A = this chain, B = another copy of it.
Amino acid sequence: MRATLAMPDSERDEHAIIARYFAPLATHEGARGLLDDAALLTATGPLVITTDAIVEGVHFLPADPLDLVARKALRVNLSDLAAKGAAPLGYLLTLFWPAGRVSGDIALLAQGLAVDQRVFDIALLGGDTVSTPGPLSLSVTMIGSAGRRTPARAGATQGDDVYVTGTIGDSGLGLEALRGAPFDAADRPFLAARYHLPEPRVSLAAWIAEYASAAMDVSDGLIADAAKLAAASHVSMEIDLGALPLSPAAARWAAAQPDLGAAKTRLASFGDDYEILFTAKPGAVHASAVPVTRIGRISGGGGIVLTEGGQPVAAPVQNGYVHRLGR
């Protein structure tokens, strides 16, 4: 970490903040305790590297607890690595801290980082902390160790089956619940938790590296992301909405909607799922540590075909999910 922090306005305070909140997170030897300008990383094989940022008011709500915000910043990146079959090693964090915000709030943010460092066995490698007149923002670069293979979006071929991990649509419903939409009181905490704290499928990384012909994480809505995978692979993907894996809460919500098909399409158009969408040769997929559901198959041509019980369903607008809260 270096330079330019400005709350309150001195080098001394900056160093105190780094020493107090961030240095304890830099448990990797190469991070040099954040007392240097760069991290030294000795890799024993190919690395997979990804970066994703989150912005207050765009990707998270101003009222979201800072420990969960910090964990989300890590998890959206961990999700990318998992989808590429890579095991996480460590990360660099750039923290854009609003000029007027008290520095003590960093404690909660650092607590969140510490928790997920333990959960995922990763360490802070380095970073930067800068003052901004804008909103709180976190940019994370996550570095992982490549698996036996690194599945691309572009690897799907005709005849492959299409799978997705976990359940789809919970996070989008959670955001709606947090913004005041009416939900069953029993389902609300589950859905809000799915929004606040995605569950990156890190435990599946080696499994994905073994079996997936193509893979990506679902962050912009299943249908929009499926369209990207199909386009990158120059194939067509058929998705059976009848097979869409739903949590009990999402299934209850869908059943209460006037049009079940439209409700499922909506769940498959929300974002922030952070599940893994992947393809594999029929019969190739073996038991996994996380529920995995076959939702379709790859054919020739291009684009996405939605079906329900074997019948085509009108495809929704392919805009995907645009992260823009409160506007």
B-contacting residues of A (Cβ < 8 Å)?
2-4, 6, 9-12, 32, 35-43, 45-55, 57-59, 80-81, 83-84, 86, 92-94, 96, 125-128, 130-135, 137, 139, 141, 143-144, 146, 150, 152-154, 216-217, 219-220, 224, 232, 271, 318-320, 322-324
* Chain B residues within an 8 Å CB radius of A319: 10-12
Chain B residue at minimal CB-CB distance from A323: B4
| Separation of A163 and B318 alpha carbons in the complex (Å) | 59
In the complex, A232 Cα to B309 Cα: how many Å? 67
| Contact in complex: B4, A37 (CB < 8 Å) | no
Whether A134 lies near B137 (C-beta < 8 A) is yes
A128: contacting residue among B41, B139, B144, CB under 8 A:
B139
Tell me whether B219 and A146 are in contact (CB under 8 A).
no
Residues in B neighbouring A10, C-beta threshold 8 A = 319, 322
Inter-subunit contact B38/A80 (CB<8 Å): yes
24 A-B contacts, Cβ less than 8 Å apart? A2-B219, A6-B324, A9-B322, A9-B324, A10-B319, A11-B319, A12-B318, A12-B319, A32-B152, A35-B232, A36-B216, A38-B144, A39-B48, A39-B49, A41-B47, A41-B48, A42-B45, A43-B43, A51-B94, A58-B131, A59-B130, A130-B323, A132-B135, A134-B137
Judge whether B49 and A128 touch: CB under 8 Å: no
Contact B53–A48 (Cβ < 8 Å): no
User: Whole-angstrom distance from the CB of A262 to the nearest CB of chain B?
Assistant: 20
Tell me which residues across on chain B come within 8 A of A40, comparing CB atoms. 46-48, 84, 146, 150
Name the residue among A59, A84, A322 with the largest chain B CB count within 10 angstroms: A322
Min Cβ gap A266→B in Å is: 17
Chain B residues with CB below 8 A from A50, complex form:
37-39, 92, 126
